[in-house]
Structure 1
Amino acid sequence: MLYIDTPRWPAHGRLWAHLVSDVSAAELHAFAELIGAPRRAFERDHYDVPADRARVAVWLGARLVPSREIVDRLVAAGLRRPRYLSASAGQKKPAQGLFRRED
């Protein structure tokens, strides 16, 4: 199953949501591709998704859940990847141009 929280995380003039799977990273990557999320929007165990793509994700079947449930689902499925285990720990990822605006 795929889960997404309400877009409420501000960055780069937009609101962002988190998209996760409680099944596998493969399911998450396939769904992210379906909604047009580039692979560079993937961060350890979730995708950062702008509000317009979040609506598409829900329309395509992602379940809208509270932010706290996102982490709970990842932990329960054994898919949570803490930052300290990441190869890019301590580095900021470039966020400019993750998604094209459809204004």
Structure 2
Amino acid sequence: MILIDPPDWPGHGRYWSHLVSDVSFEELHVFARRLGVPPRAFERDHYDVPADLYQRAVRAGASAVPSRVLVARITAAGLRRPKHRPWPGD
């Protein structure tokens, strides 16, 4: 399932959401491409999505969830890749 948190994260003069999958990175990449999110927006386990794409992502099928739920779901799925820990293949 594709999940998105509210655009509450400030940066570069904008607000951002995090777009993730609790199924696979492949599912996430396919959804992001369909949404028009550039590959450079991918950061380890999520895409940074600007606030102006939030509603479009939800209309396209992303489930809107609080940030804590998003993190819990990708952690439970084994897809959380914290910056301070190496990921196999990194």
Common fold, TM-score beyond 0.5?
yes
Superposition deviation, residue 79 in structure 1: 0.5
2:7 is aligned with 1:7:
yes
In structure 2, runs of 5+ residues without a counterpart are none
TM-score normalized with structure 2 length: 0.92
Larger radius of gyration: 1
Distance 1:13 1:33 in 2: 24
Instruction: Using the aligned pairs only, state the percent identity.
Output: 62
| TM-score, normalization by structure 1 | 0.81
Match of 1:65 in 2: 65
Give the match for residue 23 of structure 2. Answer: 23
Pairs aligned (count): 87
Cα root mean square deviation, aligned? 1.0
Q: What are structure 1's unaligned runs of at least 5 residues?
A: 88-103
Residue 80 (structure 2) pairs with residue 80 (structure 1): yes
CA distance in 1, matches of 2:55, 2:44: 22
